[in-house]
């Protein structure tokens, strides 16, 4: 797998430090390693993969929460979906949404092969429609965790759509909140993605409903504990 990690992708991660962390963490199993390879072979956007350190972190958070209901906004090829489902309670259910039908076949194949098809429900469509119209009406209880990793300009919309359905002590985690360092220079980056991330970071920092912790892991993870 070394050839997939030659280029340092995030300024937060010194390549030597990251490689050391990977060597002293549980590695991807054969299925997940194959999913990484297939993603690289099939798509030019493989940099969107969470990676083993982030995948294992999400799995452990689900384990610590004994999570039974998790929402993922942004399935991509299902790498983080499988890791989170592995960490959930035996009777848990992960709802994961993507708006790219090109990834659907690969996602379905690897979820089936993971043996977790009974724990993972996939949805294709706009999450702003799927969450209130399909997922929430069928829910019994509250989300233990929400993982946001989709179109950056809608981070605040996703957050506000979900927060009242997250249990007290549950978590909302948002990926890419450092956005390749562009958040440090908002005057020079006027694209909708950068503006969306900057606005989201400020929004949650000033929201009394949550406690914030921004972790400089990969491209930045915002951890929000619902009070």
3-state secondary structure string, 141-208? CCEEEEEECCCHHHHHHHHHHHHHHEEEEEEEEEECCCHHHHHHCCCCCCCHHHHHHHHHHHHHHCCC
* pTM confidence score: 0.93
Q: What domains can you pick out in the chain, each with its CATH number?
A: 8-226 (3.40.50.150)
pLDDT in tens, 191-218: 999 999 999 999 999 999 999 999 998 8
pLDDT in tens, 34-89: 999 999 999 999 888 889 999 999 999 999 999 999 999 999 999 999 999 999 99
């Amino acid at each position: 797998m070394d050839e997939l990690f030659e280029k340092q992708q995030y300024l937060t991660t010194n390549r030597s430090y990251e490689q050391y962390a990977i060597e002293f963490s549980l590695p991807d199993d054969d299925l997940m390693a194959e999913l990484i390879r297939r993603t690289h072979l099939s798509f030019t956007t493989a940099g969107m993969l969470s990676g083993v350190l982030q995948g294992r972190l999400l799995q452990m958070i689900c384990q610590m929460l004994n999570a039974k209901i998790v929402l993922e906004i942004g399935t991509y090829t299902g790498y983080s979906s499988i890791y989170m489902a592995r960490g959930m309670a035996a009777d848990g259910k992960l709802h994961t949404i993507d708006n790219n039908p090109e990834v659907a076949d690969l996602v379905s194949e690897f979820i089936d092969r993971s043996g977790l098809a009974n724990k993972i429900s996939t949805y294709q469509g706009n999450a702003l429609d799927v969450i209130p119209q399909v997922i929430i009406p069928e829910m019994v209880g509250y989300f233990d965790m929400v993982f946001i990793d989709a179109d950056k300009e809608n981070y605040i919309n996703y957050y506000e759509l979900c927060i009242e359905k997250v249990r007290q002590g549950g978590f909302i985690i948002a990926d890419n909140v450092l956005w390749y360092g562009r958040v440090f220079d908002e005057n020079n980056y006027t694209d909708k993605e950068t503006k969306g991330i900057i606005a989201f970071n400020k929004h949650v920092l000033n929201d009394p409903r949550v406690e914030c912790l921004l972790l400089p892991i990969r491209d930045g993870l915002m951890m929000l504990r619902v009070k």
